Amino acid sequence: MTSAAPRRLDALVVGAGFAGLCMLRRLRELGFSVRVFEAAAGIGGTWYWNRYPGARCDTESLQYSYQFCERLQREWQWSERFAAQPEILRYINHVADRFDLRRDIEFNTRIAGARYDEAAGDWSLATADGRTIRARYCIMATGCLSAPLTPAIDGLDDFAGERYYTSAWPHREVSFAAKRVGVVGTGSSAIQAIPLIAAEARRLYVFQRTANYSVPAHNGPLDPGYERDFKARYAENRARAKELVSGFLCHYNRQSAFEVGAEQRRREYDARWAHGGLAFLGAFSDITHDAEANRTATGYIHDRIREIVDDPEVAELLIPNSVVGCKRLCVDTDYYGTYNRDNVTLVDVRSSPIERITPAGVVVAGREYRLDTLVLATGFDAVTGALKRIDIRGRGGLALADKWRDGAGSYLGLGVAGFPNLFTITGPGSPSVLTNMLPSIEQHVDWIAECLDHMRESGLAVIEPTVEAQDGWVAYNEETARGTLRYDCNSWYLGSNVPGRPRVFMPFVGGLPLYIEKCREIVADGYRGFAFEPLHHTRGTAAPVA
């Protein structure tokens, strides 16, 4: 963007992943002027940054895509059941070109601060390189899993070999051939990467603090018949998916795990295991909220791990001691089997934490594991991290990071009291990471766009959630979460992976259909819980680009 030609902007969007692109297209369609700012050099968000070996979607490709354009969803051809990162990146770049989105996006532009001007009723964003841009509305499309965590391990910067984060993988081939490689972390990214690194490296040490549940993907080329049938009823399939808690279409068994006998239960789990993917959790209706039912599922997975992994001691280390589904369930290709390889060693850093990293390797229980390459798969400051890393100031200069010190409060995950005209896409308190993110993103984008349109039509200039509505929503979500097994372990849904974080369940746990219904009701009831100010209370429309 040049500052030579000042023009008025209605909205600024931060982030050019699936959410930011969709928001840009939708607002443009409604005649709003929009500018998008993206820290990366390209489009794609998650799929731009996470290029590690094995990076792949856990949601089936045919459902992990936009639904706003019938022709787009019919014409795009996915090659695999679960698309790999390069293909998803190609898809999102195709969308950007097809809808001519790039001309309104500034790449390599990190937003460092955002300040609300109460007199003007608008936002001014500060770029990391010192420019400011103003507009009436600010929409944060900064992502739920986009603020990588750096582990606090002594000596990390002393490591003399190659060091890579899965969340910021280099844009070039990384070779592990003939290398001694260490992977720190065993969450979803590590579980995808480990089998591929093991196949190439001379030696692989996996440093595991917490074992995680994983189910096989059974990925493969997309069956042409399945694709044809699915696409023939795309709209209907999408509508049905939105009636399911997770927002993706799969068969949810309505029976309790105890409505059937042990043998039939086993057959159901066998069928789900053989089918592959996250549908495993749909085997019985009570797995996610009844501890006994959950134990039938964990028992089944424990048996599979013991069956797959040859060394009984290694198998026991790989068996999680939590309920399944309280953390994000991982989906893998030969993860557990990888531990049967001669060149792979699992190092338990739960009983003996990593002492320090030296120039030559990783020290655990007094032993130095000598490494050429260190891969850190240490997760994200999820849901709120990217927002808190921007200095966002609302009414009276109030900092969002301070306001959220005791837990993130938001109304519907769309807006925050004290921060007028600021919207968050898939913010805390919305279903976001507990669902197929694409329909959740599109639902937020539509809600925000229709809200701005309504304000324009009604001569309104400022919108802000009331404190009462926000507190009510936070309390409702917390109460709902406490009734589920998801509250029973230390997960990133609860912020447990970030030292010092208050234990607050961040995503809305009630499922996508209930959430959509609540959003609709609130709009139908005159945007219940939001306060508006008319146009004349502010200085007019958005200020020029600076």
Give whichever of 40 and 201 is closer to ligand FAD, judged by the CB atom.
40
Instruction: Please report how close the Cβ of residue 148 comes to ligand FAD at its closest, in angstroms.
Output: 9
Closer residue to ligand FAD in complex, CB, 17/320: 17
The closest of 227, 218, 208, 190 to 278, measured between CA atoms, is: 218
CB of 64 to ligand FAD, least distance (A): 6
- Determine contact, residues 427/386, Cβ cutoff 8 Å: no
Tell me how far, at minimum, the Cβ of 367 lies from ligand FAD, in Å.
Answer: 31
Q: How far is the CB of 471 from ligand FAD (least distance, A)?
A: 26
Identify residue 134 by its one-letter amino acid code.
Answer: R
Token pair in block for residue 312: 């009984």
Of 106 and 533, nearer to ligand FAD (C-beta) is 106
* Cβ distance to ligand FAD smaller for residue 32 or 169: 169
Q: How far is the CB of 417 from ligand FAD (least distance, A)?
A: 22
Taking the complex as a whole, the smallest distance from the CB of residue 538 to ligand FAD amounts, in Å, to 26
Minimal distance, residue 529 CB to ligand FAD, in Å? 24
DSSP annotation of 488: G
In whole angstroms, how far apart are CA 116 and each of 1, 134, 251, 397, 421? 22, 10, 46, 8, 8
Closer residue to ligand FAD, CB minimum distance, 59 or 67: 59
Question: 363 or 377, CB closer to ligand FAD?
Answer: 377
Nearest in space to 253 (alpha carbons), one of 216, 217, 288: 288
- Strand, coil or helix: 287: coil
Query: In angstroms, rounded to a whole number, what is the distance separating the alpha carbons of residues 271 and 533?
Result: 56
CB of 472 to ligand FAD, least distance (A): 26
Nearest residue (CB) to ligand FAD, 26 versus 203: 26
Q: Which SS3 state, helix, strand or coil, does residue 382 take?
A: coil
Q: Which is nearer to ligand FAD, 38 or 104 (CB)?
A: 38
CA atoms within 13 A on the CB side of 145: 25
Closest approach, Cβ 257 to ligand FAD, in A, equals: 26
What distance in Å separates the CA atoms of residue 64 and residue 16, rounded to the nearest whole number?
A: 17
Q: Distance between CA 27 and CA 116 in Å, rounded?
A: 21
Angle between helices 85-98 and 18-29 (to 10 degrees): 20
- Residue 114's DSSP bridge partners are 125, 392
Give the C-alpha separation, 88 to 295, whole Å.
Answer: 35
Mark out the alpha helices in 9-123 (DSSP H runs). Answer: 18-29, 46-49, 70-75, 85-98
Toward ligand FAD, which CB reaches closer, 167 or 288? 167
Chain residues binding ligand FAD by CB under 6 A are: 14-20, 37-40, 45-46, 48, 50, 55, 57-59, 64, 110-111, 141-146, 189, 386, 390, 425-426, 436-437, 441
Are the beta carbons of 386 and 142 closer than 8 angstroms?
Answer: yes
**SS3 state at 289:** coil
Smallest distance, ligand FAD to C-beta of residue 1, A = 14
Residue found by looking up tokens 């390797």 in the block: 361
**Is 340 or 496 the residue whose CB approaches ligand FAD more closely?**
496
Helix (H) or strand (E) holding 132: strand 132-135
Q: SS3 for 80?
A: strand
